[in-house]
Amino acid sequence: MAPSFLPESSSHSGVTSKEIAVIGGGPGGLASAMLLAHSGARVTLYEKSSKIGGRSSCLELDGFRFDTGPTFFLYPEIIREIFARCGFAFDSMVELTRLNHLYDLVFENGPRLALTTDPSRLESEIAKISEADSKNVRRFLNDNKGKFARFIAPLQRPFNSWRDLLKPDMLKALPVLSPLSSIDKDLSRYFKDPRTRLAFSFQSKYLGMSPYRCPSLFTILSYMEHEFGIYHPTGGTGAVMAAMQSAAESLGVTIKLGEAVETIETRDGKAVGIKTAEGMQPIDAVVVNGDFARTIQSLLPDASRRKWSNAKLASKKYSCSTFMMYLGLRGTMPEKAHHTIFLSSDYENNFAEIEEGKQISSRASLYVQNACVTDPALAPEGCTALYVLMPVGNLREGGLDWTEEAVAKARAIVFKRLEDAGFGDIESRIMVEKVVTPKDWQEEHDVHRGAVFNLAHSLGQMLHLRPHNRFEDVKGVYLAGGGTHPGSGLPVIFEGARISADLLIKDLARTPARLPEIPGPGIALVPECSRG
């Protein structure tokens, strides 16, 4: 992927000494802070928790280390480019292991597939489902190579209105998009057996969506895994966040942990300051990296958000949530893959129950990470750090109430389904355990409705219909993270941060000065020329 546009000479002359606040230290906030500091701006990053990374941080329990959310890197070229642009060699700061064995894909009633990046072996594994389908694997991969090549350019630039749909790169991409088709429907052109289609569509879970509803564009996710591989950072995704923190601080970013931003102060429709418990800080611009729907409602009053009002946010569609179990176990599991996907024999109904959000499906599918098979230092010697994710409905009116009884039921279902997936008796081996429910995602991690994959990536909530990188409702506010264009997933979030940072740099380069003061008693903006 070629880098997105770079402002001339990084626009140093236009943004030097400009004050920029970044709210939230997730991957989008860290990438934004790096790029903006490298451009010459004075950047302060505010993170309300005591550590960096957001949902991409790590969880440490009695010698066991777990990824909190994302568990691998897909297409690391984007983060490499961001580091390189800022003067760092990513691979000298983070050790990445390419997993040629992508994952074990276990169908409830068989078969079990060991999927790799080798097309010949992939064909052999798919033949366990259907010989006829295996003959179309290369055609699928080749067609999606073309789709990826055509659509990558639109994902590297902002979409500010419907007019952006008429630009040459988008017009070139439209013939391969099939915008009204779902992933499953698109795959039916290649594969007749529904299990084969699942083998190339379960990746829609990365967006928190069902393959029966997710737009067909996202067949490129499966292609990207098989074409480029997936990567494990030694120490987990938290190690990448730590490297980004180190790079940001080397560039002069001030990182304030445990300091929440309470409000964004505005004047005449423009952001002029941020308020924390420590007081008011004048700013020239602000990047919001928190969960969009949750954070924007707390930072800006409803009256100031004409397009993204509280009512508008309430009407939007959100991704599913997850029930998480982080399990420190006695003994190792060398026979289990780094990643295992267990697919319910009732997958379609399982997702329908998730979308309805009123009950926990007893026939749930699971994702299991056994990272110690690649990175044994994540657990004490002779032990295993097992990460288990069960997709569940998000928090909604009339939805499931995550009481102690509901948690106990979900926990029991997970252990039963782990046995069904061939993991045996896990519960008797537990040394350390932590559970995270949709309610916990919302209350402890500030995720709106516990929808961990953010706004759903449905046709009506993509491109110019998603919150813009340059926030439409308040000048001087820019967005980073899964809630803005291009969307969720680490490589996409990094690309979105790059788009937003470049827009901000370009805008500030032609902005001569800040407003003279922030509203409020005794708070004045210091003119730029008088700063030391």
For residue range 333-382, what is the model confidence (pLDDT) as tens digits?
A: 999 999 999 999 988 888 888 888 888 988 999 999 999 999 999 999 99
Query: Average pLDDT, stretch 161-177?
Result: 85
Helix, strand, coil distribution of the chain in percent, nearest 5: 40, 20, 40
d(C-alpha 283, C-alpha 271), whole Å: 8
pLDDT of residue 165: 87
Instruction: Show the tokens assigned to 75.
Output: 């297409």
Query: Average pLDDT, stretch 67-84?
Result: 95
136 Cβ contact list (under 8 Å, min separation 6): 190, 191
131 Cβ contact list (under 8 Å, min separation 6): none
Tell me phi and psi for residue 285, to 5 degrees.
-165, 165
86, pLDDT greater than 60: yes
For residue range 137-148, what is the model confidence (pLDDT) as tens digits?
A: 999 999 999 999
Give me the residue label for tokens 């990207």. 224
528, pLDDT greater than 90: no
d(C-alpha 496, C-alpha 493), whole Å: 5
Closest to 430 measured CA to CA, from 71, 64, 104? 64
d(C-alpha 43, C-alpha 334), whole Å: 45
CB contact at 8 A, 320 and 392: yes
CB contact at 8 A, 203 and 225: yes
CATH of domain 12-95+235-316+455-509: 3.50.50.60
Query: Average pLDDT, stretch 219-246?
Result: 95
Per DSSP, helices labelled H in 359-489 are 404-420, 438-445
Residue ranges covered by each domain of the chain: 12-95+235-316+455-509, 139-228, 320-450
Per DSSP, helices labelled H in 284-432 are 292-299, 310-315, 347-356, 404-420
Winning range, highest mean pLDDT, from 252-256, 361-365, 485-489, 527-531: 252-256
d(C-alpha 3, C-alpha 82), whole Å: 9
Query: Average pLDDT, stretch 13-38?
Result: 92
**pTM score of the predicted model:** 0.91
Instruction: Show the tokens assigned to 72.
Output: 């691998």
pLDDT of residue 66: 98
405 Cβ contact list (under 8 Å, min separation 6): none
Instruction: Assign residue 390 a region (left: φ > 0; alpha: ψ between -120 and 50; beta: otherwise).
Output: beta
251, pLDDT greater than 90: yes
Query: Average pLDDT, stretch 386-414?
Result: 94
d(C-alpha 94, C-alpha 109), whole Å: 39
CB contact at 8 A, 295 and 479: no
CA dist list (Å): 246 to 90, 239, 251, 507: 11, 11, 9, 27
Band (pLDDT 50/70/90 cuts) for residue 232 is very high
d(C-alpha 496, C-alpha 469), whole Å: 7
d(C-alpha 497, C-alpha 479), whole Å: 8
CB contact at 8 A, 53 and 65: no
pLDDT of residue 525: 32
178, pLDDT greater than 90: no
d(C-alpha 22, C-alpha 25), whole Å: 8
Looking at the DSSP bridge assignments, the partners of residue 318 are 455
pLDDT of residue 400: 92
Instruction: Assign residue 194 a region (left: φ > 0; alpha: ψ between -120 and 50; beta: otherwise).
Output: alpha
CB contact at 8 A, 297 and 313: yes
d(C-alpha 17, C-alpha 312), whole Å: 36
161 Cβ contact list (under 8 Å, min separation 6): 464
% residues pLDDT > 90 (the chain): 77
Per DSSP, helices labelled H in 201-321 are 220-228, 237-250, 292-299, 310-315
323, pLDDT greater than 70: yes
205, pLDDT greater than 90: no
189, pLDDT greater than 70: yes
**Least reliable range by pLDDT among 156-165, 291-300, 357-366, 516-525:** 516-525
Query: Average pLDDT, stretch 461-485?
Result: 95
Instruction: Show the tokens assigned to 279.
Output: 């007081």
pLDDT of residue 512: 56
pLDDT of residue 507: 93
**What one-character DSSP code corresponds to residue 524?**
B
Instruction: Show the tokens assigned to 261.
Output: 């931003």
Identify each DSSP E strand in 353-512 by its residue range: 366-370, 383-392, 430-436, 477-479
Instruction: Show the tokens assigned to 193.
Output: 């057996």
CB contact at 8 A, 336 and 379: no
% residues pLDDT > 70 (the chain): 93
For the chain, the average pLDDT equals: 90
Band (pLDDT 50/70/90 cuts) for residue 273 is very high
Tell me phi and psi for residue 505, to 5 degrees.
-60, -45
Instruction: For 101-154, give the secondary structure using H, E and C.
Output: EEEEEEECCCCEEEEECCHHHHHHHHCCCCHHHHCCHHHHHHHHHHHHHHHCCH
pLDDT of residue 170: 87
CATH, domain 320-450, list 3.10.450, 3.30.1460, 3.30.519, 1.20.120 = 3.30.519
CB contact at 8 A, 73 and 237: yes
For residue range 89-148, what is the model confidence (pLDDT) as tens digits?
A: 999 999 999 998 999 999 999 899 999 999 999 999 999 999 999 999 999 999 999 999
pLDDT of residue 511: 67
9, pLDDT greater than 50: no
Give me the residue label for tokens 């568990």. 71
Pairing of strands 101-107, 58-61: unpaired
pLDDT of residue 171: 86
Q: Which helix (H) or strand (E) holds 481?
A: none
pLDDT of residue 152: 86
Band (pLDDT 50/70/90 cuts) for residue 6 is very low
